[in-house]
Amino acid sequence: MNKLRNELASLPDSPGVYLFKDISGKVIYIGKAKSLKKRVQSYFSRYLSAKTQAMIAKVEDLDYKLSSSESQAQILEASLIKSHQPQYNVSLKDDKSFPWIKISDEEFPVVSIVRRKKNLRGDKALYFGPYTNATLLRQAFKMIRRTFGFRTCEKMPGEACLYFRLKLCPGPCINKIKPSDYREIINQICMFLDSKFEELTKFLVSRMDRAAADKRFEEAAGIRDQINALNSIAQSNAPFISNEIRDLKKLLNLRSLPNRIEAFDISNISGKEATGSMVSFYKGLPDKNSYRHFRIKTVQEIDDYKMLSEVIKRRYTKVKKENLPVADLVLIDGGRSHLLTAEREIRKLGMEIPIASIAKGRENIYMQNRKKPIKLNSDTPALNLIRRVRDEAHRFAVAYHHILRRKKIIGK
């Protein structure tokens, strides 16, 4: 129960899918959420129906998967339910009133949303679902169509329609695509709907490399854009985020994957209303419920190092006192001196946390016990992640600083 309690406390305030498990580790229920923290914690903090109480009584462990949006979470939820067949999702599995995504069985298959799954012997169409929220499904459907492009018309016209001009359909009606190439698009859509993001991305990267090697640069660029779109849609499951985390672990020589990164920034425009900020990223995504502001209390002069010392001390004193989840990596906006400042405060508390700092301009990375900075190429996955975290910390600090400035002006 202590393990479950700790997992509940560390859930991110982000969209995703949660999986409840029984004492044997078997998945007994799968659900989606706009906020994993709020949704999952609600099961343990409010009145529940008798049926739900019976389910929660069996929950001994939980797992979750992040997504970039609630609509993408719904796609993932349906795929996981299909895979695990959880006991308490039986009503969803059997209910015929929820919508499905249908892919017809013809030379150029039609992809559409339908209300019922036909169980006729002659129906060879593919069905994905069911999906519990029709509005979210329509959003996801548009997202998938922008990424892949497919036919939706029941009867092919004799001329190109608006969807072809908008690049939402590859144009089988005017012979702009061969049946084999169109079938490849359908296969990619099926992999996406089955949440096989890593397999799909590897396939696309291989195609892009072949196209580039054959000097088919326009085709390679199109596949690259498709990969980037997939990254933004399914970023918590696509390998790009995990690649960034693994790359960061390797380059910084960390003992464990930096799944939880806490980044700090100090903002003191002209030395007035000095503030500090901390943002938290979990598995490459912002965990906004864990963000923290710090109004500088003990430093009167303009001194970034003293301000940083105060913020670091306050943060990790609280972490230690309240037994909060400890970061896998602390990231400081600054150079080597900033790094040493943060390291000194954390060591005073008897804690050992990997620390890195990133200097503006050349984007050099400084690490503990290394005199020379780590210089990363601009396209390094690890650097992309560090920049994203660093920029979010800066944005968060400046935003809070402006709020305090406005309050002071209004107060006058």
Are residues 363 and 317 both part of a single domain?
Answer: yes
Instruction: Flag whether 247 is in a domain.
Output: no
With bands split at pLDDT 50, 70 and 90, how would you rate the model's confidence at 96?
low
Instruction: Flag whether 63 is in a domain.
Output: yes
Residues 6+ apart with CB under 8 A from 254: 248, 328, 329, 354
Q: What is the DSSP string of 228-297?
A: HHHHHHSTTTSHHHHHHHHHHHHHHT-SS---EEEEEEEE-GGGSS-EEEEEEEETTEE-GGG-EEEE--
Instruction: Flag whether 245 is in a domain.
Output: no
With bands split at pLDDT 50, 70 and 90, how would you rate the model's confidence at 237?
very low
Higher pLDDT, 181 or 130: 181
Of 93, 123, 146, the residue that ends a domain is 93
Residue 245 identity (one-letter amino acid): I
Spatial distance between the Cα atoms of 338 and 391, rounded to a whole number of angstroms: 17
Are residues 179 and 303 both part of a single domain?
Answer: no
Are residues 123 and 21 both part of a single domain?
Answer: no
pLDDT on residue 317: 95
Are residues 397 and 282 both part of a single domain?
Answer: yes
Determine contact, residues 84/93, Cβ cutoff 8 Å. no
pLDDT on residue 44: 82
Are residues 297 and 396 both part of a single domain?
Answer: yes
pLDDT on residue 119: 65
Residue 412, pLDDT above cutoff 50: no
Torsion from C-alpha of 154, 157, 161, 165, nearest 10 degrees: 100
pLDDT on residue 236: 44
Are residues 285 and 332 both part of a single domain?
Answer: yes
Structure tokens, 272: 């007035």
Instruction: Flag whether 135 is in a domain.
Output: yes
Q: Which residues pair with 332 in a beta bridge?
A: 264, 357
pLDDT on residue 332: 94
Report pLDDT digits (tens) over 18-39: 999 988 989 999 999 988 888 9
Higher pLDDT, 242 or 157: 157
Least confident of 7-11, 158-162, 333-337: 7-11
pLDDT on residue 147: 86
Instruction: Flag whether 183 is in a domain.
Output: yes
Report pLDDT digits (tens) over 43-77: 887 677 788 888 888 998 888 887 777 888 888 88
pLDDT on residue 217: 82
pLDDT on residue 271: 52
Instruction: Flag whether 301 is in a domain.
Output: yes
Omega before 130 cis (within 30°)? yes
Report pLDDT digits (tens) over 319-348: 999 888 899 999 998 889 999 999 999 999
Report pLDDT digits (tens) over 246-268: 889 988 989 888 989 999 988 76
CATH, residue 39 = 3.40.1440.10
Least confident of 59-73, 166-180, 232-246, 394-408: 232-246
Structure tokens, 353: 């946390």
E strand or H helix at 28: strand 27-33
With bands split at pLDDT 50, 70 and 90, how would you rate the model's confidence at 177?
very high
Global confidence as pTM: 0.50
Of 199, 233, 267, the residue that ends a domain is 233
Instruction: Flag whether 299 is in a domain.
Output: yes
pLDDT on residue 326: 92
Of 93, 126, 141, the residue that ends a domain is 93
With bands split at pLDDT 50, 70 and 90, how would you rate the model's confidence at 181?
very high
Q: What is the DSSP string of 48-77?
A: --HHHHHHHTT--EEEEEE-SSHHHHHHHH
pLDDT on residue 273: 65
Are residues 206 and 259 both part of a single domain?
Answer: no
With bands split at pLDDT 50, 70 and 90, how would you rate the model's confidence at 238?
very low
pLDDT on residue 263: 95
pLDDT on residue 239: 43
Higher pLDDT, 3 or 165: 165
E strand or H helix at 349: none
Residue 255 identity (one-letter amino acid): R
Are residues 280 and 383 both part of a single domain?
Answer: yes
Q: Per the structure, how many domains does the chain have?
A: 3
Are residues 264 and 322 both part of a single domain?
Answer: yes
Are residues 212 and 275 both part of a single domain?
Answer: no
Mean pLDDT rounded to a whole number for the chain: 83
Higher pLDDT, 349 or 7: 349
Segment 370-376 shows an average pLDDT of: 82
Segment 350-369 shows an average pLDDT of: 87
Are residues 210 and 323 both part of a single domain?
Answer: no
Are residues 16 and 163 both part of a single domain?
Answer: no
Domain span at residue 28 reads 2-93
Instruction: Flag whether 244 is in a domain.
Output: no
Determine contact, residues 111/90, Cβ cutoff 8 Å. no
CATH, residue 274 = 3.30.420.340
